[in-house]
Amino acid sequence: MAMRQTPLTCSGHTRPVVDLAFSGITPYGYFLISACKDGKPMLRQGDTGDWIGTFLGHKGAVWGATLNTDATKAATAAADFTAKVWDAVSGDEVLTLAHKHIVKTVTFTQDSTCLLTAGNDKLLRIYDLSNPEAAPLEIAGHTSAIKKALWCNNDKQILSAADDKTIRLWDRSSMEEVKTLTFDTSVSSMEYVADGEILVITYGKTIAFYNALSLDLIKTVEAPAPINSASLHPEKDFFVAGGEDFKLYKFDYSTKEELESYKGHFGPVHCVRFSPDGELYASGSEDGTLRLWQTAVGKTYGLWKCVLPEDLGAENSEQMYTLAPEIKA
């Protein structure tokens, strides 16, 4: 009897959810932040989707959101020409960093001392958070808006993806371009996996895996529909992807075989990420919701509770496991 995937639905946003990120595992569990066009990024408990708080202060769509490793700080990138840094424990705004155009992406260094930002003005900026009044370091080179920028190689290098159909690798100390990958179409997403130095990118219907240091291609996988985001499991045994057909796809990383696909969202999937423990993955959609999906369907974890067939009455024996009665987190 096949197990039925029952995602947890996280409501609260009123517009499309365009970015999400998990913290690392902390003594209090792990956390999830979502960026939404409603301008109100939300913090949630990562394993249950329970709402913790909303960061209030942006005056436009929020395009990017991130947490530092220990979930003490959050950062957001918005259409109001600012990036903001927040105290993720109290919810208070700590810093507003003014930009000249829409900001699309924000990322902390591992030690949380610097913030990398980028967006529609085509520049990468590095802010020293211990001296926020100082002018940021600026790196130019892209010829169109930058969608995503990430630290890599122990924060010694930067990866950026832009609408100029390139991904570029930069050296932090020299601020010079190291290598460029050029594509036939704009790259829709980029994920960096530090363990193994793997870069996961999506463009069109393609999910591609590169070595993040050399930018040598490892493999590509073709999906059934245009893909907006993909994420590699921490153990690297499979990856998930979501896109324009509202579905979540799960593939075997070594064989590239499609293992499962799930429908749950009522609009295109914009972002998908595995949790730091690999037990679930979160998706954000045009439909304004986040959904949490179990990696191993039927396992007791978070709000999911496994029920063995002998514990079920005949009337619901087709359902192998249950959830708490109300699953809208």
Spatial CA neighbour of 55 closest among 42, 46, 65, 66: 42
What is the average pLDDT across 210-222?
97
Q: How confident is the model at residue 119 (pLDDT cuts 50, 70, 90)?
A: very high
What are the tens digits of pLDDT across the range 226-270? 999 999 999 999 999 999 999 999 999 999 999 999 999 999 999
Question: Which percentage of the chain shows pLDDT scores above 90?
Answer: 89
pLDDT at residue 315, rounded to an integer: 45
Q: Taking residues 34-62, report their average pLDDT.
A: 98
Does residue 325 surpass a pLDDT of 90?
Answer: no
Q: How far apart are CA 62 and CA 37, in angstroms?
A: 5
